[in-house]
Amino acid sequence: MWIYEKKLQYPVRVSTCNPRLAKFLIEQYGGADGELAAALRYLNQRYSIPDKVIGLLTDIGTEEFAHLEMIATMVVKLTKDATPQQMRDAGLDAHYANHDSALFYHNAAGVPWTASYIQAKGDPIADLYEDIAAEEKARATYQWLIDMSDDPDLNDGLRFLREREIIHSMRFREAVEILKEERDRKTVF
């Protein structure tokens, strides 16, 4: 069971209407290393991972949904006052033709989200190494987004999300060590 809470994990502010930045941010909404992929990857791996790591995958997977909501909020705030002409100038005309102002799970280039972005190998080390890589790729993406953005308010939220990727990566690395320790203990009687 999941319980929704009517608040963002961290405040989201933007300085000005800027649909071009929104177009880039969609990468973290429906892209290969985005928040949707992260949440679905971790929550799905829980069912075959050793018990010691289920709590961590549950909690990080759940936090990813809070990040997904933050990205959606950024996109809404960056585009809500945009005219169709501004959407066109920002390269969002193709999006507008299909979705009007609705959000959709695709990446910055408009490619729709697909389950082939995520893996589930059933091997705990393979799965956790994938998770570490996913966090590092998401961290890099946030860095490229911050580098392209000139909106200080938006960047405050993006920096928070970038830091969360670092923490998640660290926790997954610790989980790998916990499983290695358990494996080594089992071979010695």
Partner 1 sequence: MENSLPADYYRLLEDLQAVDFVLVELTLYLDTHPNDTASIDQFNHYAHERKKLKKAIESKYGPMQQYGNSYSGKPWDWNKGPWPWQV
Question: In terms of C-beta density within 10 A (0-12 exposed, 13-18 middle, 19 or more buried), how is residue 14 classed?
Answer: buried
Q: Does 174 bind partner 1 (CB under 8 A)?
A: yes
Name the residue nearer to partner 1 (CB basis): 40 or 57. 57
Alpha carbons 103 and 24: distance in angstroms, whole number: 13
Name the residue nearer to partner 1 (CB basis): 11 or 50. 11
Q: Does 73 bind partner 1 (CB under 8 A)?
A: yes
Q: Which stretch binds partner 1 (CB under 8 A): 69-77, 104-112, 136-144, 150-158?
A: 69-77
The answer on whether 168 is annotated among ligand-binding residues is: yes
Q: Are 8 and 70 in contact (CB under 8 A)?
A: yes
HSE on the CB side for 84, CA within 13 Å? 5
The answer on whether 135 is annotated among ligand-binding residues is: yes
Name the residue nearer to partner 1 (CB basis): 57 or 117. 57
Name the residue nearer to partner 1 (CB basis): 15 or 73. 73
Q: Does 189 bind partner 1 (CB under 8 A)?
A: no
Among 55, 84, 122, 152, interactor with partner 1 by CB under 8 A:
55
Q: Does 59 bind partner 1 (CB under 8 A)?
A: yes
Q: Does 10 bind partner 1 (CB under 8 A)?
A: yes
Alpha carbons 62 and 5: distance in angstroms, whole number: 12
Q: Which stretch binds partner 1 (CB under 8 A): 55-63, 91-99, 119-127, 130-138?
A: 55-63
Buried b (16+ CB within 10 A) or exposed e, 113-150: beeebbbbeeebeebbebbbebbbbbbebbeebbeebe
In terms of phi and psi (left: phi > 0; alpha: psi -120 to 50; beta: otherwise), the region of 110 is: left
Taking residue 179's Cβ as centre, other Cβ atoms within 10 Å add up to 17
Name the residue nearer to partner 1 (CB basis): 59 or 150. 59
Alpha carbons 143 and 155: distance in angstroms, whole number: 10
> Which residues here bind partner 1, judged by CB under 8 A?
3-12, 55-56, 59-60, 63, 69, 72-73, 76-77, 167-168, 171, 174-175, 178
Residues in the annotated binding site for Ca(2+): 59
